[in-house]
Structure 1
Amino acid sequence: MIQARGITRTYQTNGAFTGPRTVHALRGVDFTLPAGGAVSFIGESGCGKTTLGKILTGLETFDGGELVVGGVELSRLKPRQRAKYFRRIQLIHQDPYSALNPTRTVEATLGDPLRMRAKETGGDPGAWRERASELLTLVGLEPAAVLPKYPHQLSGGQRQRVVIARALTVDPEVLIADEAVSMIDVSMRLGILGLLRDLRARLGISLVFITHDVATARYVGEGGELHVIYRGEVVERGLTDDVILTPVHPYTQCLLSAVPIMRGLEEPGPDRTAPTRALDERTATPGCLFEPRCPFANEDCSTTHPTLVPLGAASDTPAAAEHLHACLHLEARRVVGVEAEAASA
């Protein structure tokens, strides 16, 4: 459905205190999202995840590389021609409180895109109310109770479900979920995550899941790929469970080490680790981007920039070919929490 090849994005800033500065938001990102599949991106704040999501939905441009949607390379099209392809890709906003117009009811919020969609497809414009009810039911809401309400009359979880219903009004083929549960109460998160999984299964919608939460990426992206992104560069990628259970890049290991464990039920992984210093993007890094913070860096890490290569490149096993890393001195470490009984055995 979507193929990204070497996507780059650079910003030029000139802050009052920092002066001129070049920010490399994305550095040659590649991924393939099949129909009905899932790709997750994890990383700390500022790593480029949200920029990638905006590029995929046409809200942001990219400097270099190719973005192919449905077999069509979009950079070769004029802006108006690209619009119909980007319409097939809808964004689920991070903040359900600001994503909805506070002066419009749910009925009005869903009505406009549904009438526009009916006009485009030659459908019955008068059937939009029925379709709105179908979408609200699909996302787990009671239409009669929700349609006449304004956003402030809904809970956070209800608002996010309305945002998802609005995204579905144009019959998208891909949903971009950018931190879709980060601003929702913990008690409501599982319901939204389950809904996203259900939409993949029932409607065959592809999903790009952007998050800093490893657990949610594992739950929603089951069976898909997980990409670990650092300072705009993918440093490790592979099947979701392979990357989480066998992390080989030190940055991935640090991310997973930060995942809280349930005391009494779990024990921390024996090889947990942490970065040696805070992130400073102003530091020149001709070698590995993570070298200034890496607890395992060697001398050549500061001069040689690693690229993604298969784990166990000499092996012919399919798993080795699917798990890629960008580290000069990789070593798999056990950092994910394990069950207390298993740890003591």
Structure 2
Amino acid sequence: MIEARNITRTYRSRGSFGGDRTVRALRGVDFTLPKGGAVSFIGESGCGKTTLGKILTGLETFDGGELVIDGVELSGLSQRRRAPYFRRIQMIHQDPYSALNPTRTVAQTLGDPLRMRAGETGRDGGSAAVRARAAELLQLVGLDPGGVLPKYPHQLSGGQRQRVVIARALTVDPEVLIADEAVSMIDVSMRLGILSLLRDLRADLGISLLFITHDVATARYVGEGGELHVIYRGEVVERGATDSVVQAPVHPYTQCLLSAIPVLRGLELPGPERLVPLAALDERTEPPGCLFAPRCPFADDACTAARPTLGRTSGVEQEHACVHPTPRRVVAVELSERV
């Protein structure tokens, strides 16, 4: 459904004291999202995940590379001719509180895109048909239409708001949903319901899913049977089958992310120590060699000699960009499997 080839995005800004700043948000990202498939991107804040999601929905442009949607390469198309392709890809935003207009009811929020879609497809765009379709979508996402349609966003819980956001995305019959930290602002008790809904939409409607998160556990749950891409400073440093990456991470950055999973007191299993980056992320510097080397617990001179590229090595199932690839099973992974 989507094929990204060497996508790059660089931001440049002039500081208040005359100093220019360049941030390379994406550094040659490649991935393929099959129809009905799932791809997850995980990484800490500021690694380029959301930028990628915005590029795929047409909200951001890209500097270089190729973006192919359903076999059509978009680089040579005008903005107007790109629009129908981007409309097939809808984003579920991180913050359901700001994603909905507080002055419009749920019926109004769903009604406008449904009428627009009816005009495009020749469906009945009358008030009764639009309201019936809105009710159908709300039932699909697990909400009671009678109790939700007349309400304003402030009258809904966080979980209900996010379900309305998903229903709004479904009004234009999308073929791809991009979930950008879709549960990070939802109460913990509501998260599993939203994640299960995303899995069901993929299974029942054949919708492709690109899941953006910093939470390895949610990526593993939603992206079952798909691919997991670990992104650091705009560069994919490890990718492969979701379970393969989670169960035997190769790159130290992936291992640090997995090691950050909370360990429940009283259930800690014997195993290696938690892996913690040696320093905070500093986007102002561009280190030689591996981008993660200044923070890596295992870095040596070979790591700074040259920038490693994504590839496979003997005995390792997934692709990685590491000079010293070593599969490790950290305590948190053992615990997540036990729990």
**Which aligned pairs between 1:138-287 and structure 2 lie closer than 5 A?**
138-267=140-269, 269-287=271-289
Give 1:285 shift.
1.4
Task: State the distance in 2 between where 1:124 and 1:12 align.
Answer: 47
Paired residues of 2:37 and 2:207 also in contact (CA < 8 A): yes
Task: State the distance in 1 between where 2:268 and 2:103 align.
Answer: 47
Give 1:286 shift.
2.3
Counterpart position of 2:33: 33
**Which aligned pairs between 1:1-345 and structure 2 lie closer than 5 A?**
1-16=1-16, 19-126=19-126, 127-267=129-269, 269-312=271-314, 320=317, 323-335=318-330, 336-339=332-335
Task: State the distance in 1 between where 2:136 and 2:42 align.
Answer: 33
Deviations 1:98-124 (A, max 9, x none): 000000000000000000100000011
Task: State the distance in 1 between where 2:201 and 2:268 align.
Answer: 31
Give 1:161 shift.
0.2
Give 1:310 shift.
1.3
Aligned residues between the structures: 335
Give 1:16 shift.
2.3
* Residues 1:167 and 1:18: Cα distance change in structure 2 (over 3 Å): farther
* Residues 1:54 and 1:340: Cα distance change in structure 2 (over 3 Å): closer
Task: State the distance in 2 between where 1:101 and 1:78 align.
Answer: 30
Task: State the distance in 1 between where 2:125 and 2:92 align.
Answer: 25
Task: State the distance in 2 between where 1:217 and 1:339 align.
Answer: 16
SS in structure 1 of the partner of residue 75 of structure 2: helix
Paired residues of 2:308 and 2:323 also in contact (CA < 8 A): yes
> Amino acid of the residue matched to residue 327 of structure 2?
A
> Amino acid of the residue matched to residue 25 of structure 2?
A
> Amino acid of the residue matched to residue 322 of structure 2?
C
Give 1:267 shift.
2.6
Paired residues of 1:267 and 1:339 also in contact (CA < 8 A): yes
Paired residues of 2:9 and 2:27 also in contact (CA < 8 A): yes
Task: State the distance in 1 between where 2:288 and 2:50 align.
Answer: 25
Deviations 1:65-112 (A, max 9, x none): 000000000111110000000000000010000000000000000000
Deviations 1:2-34 (A, max 9, x none): 000000000002222682111000000000000
Task: State the distance in 2 between where 1:82 and 1:173 align.
Answer: 15
Paired residues of 1:261 and 1:267 also in contact (CA < 8 A): no
Give 1:300 shift.
1.9
Paired residues of 1:261 and 1:268 also in contact (CA < 8 A): no
Paired residues of 2:263 and 2:335 also in contact (CA < 8 A): no
Structure-2-length-normalised TM-score: 0.96
* Residues 1:193 and 1:268: Cα distance change in structure 2 (over 3 Å): farther
Paired residues of 2:247 and 2:333 also in contact (CA < 8 A): no
Give 5+ residue unaligned stretches, structure 2. none
Structure-1-length-normalised TM-score: 0.94
Deviations 1:133-172 (A, max 9, x none): 1000000000000000000000000000000000000000
Q: CA RMSD in A?
A: 1.6
Task: State the distance in 1 between where 2:181 and 2:283 align.
Answer: 23
Paired residues of 1:272 and 1:334 also in contact (CA < 8 A): no
Deviations 1:252-303 (A, max 9, x none): 1111111112222343752531111111112231211001111111102112
Deviations 1:32-64 (A, max 9, x none): 000000000000000000000000000000000
Q: Identity over aligned residues, as a percent?
A: 77
Task: State the distance in 1 between where 2:185 and 2:208 align.
Answer: 23
Paired residues of 2:90 and 2:176 also in contact (CA < 8 A): yes
Paired residues of 2:39 and 2:229 also in contact (CA < 8 A): yes
Find runs of 4+ consecutive structure 1 residues off by over 4 angstroms. Answer: 339-342
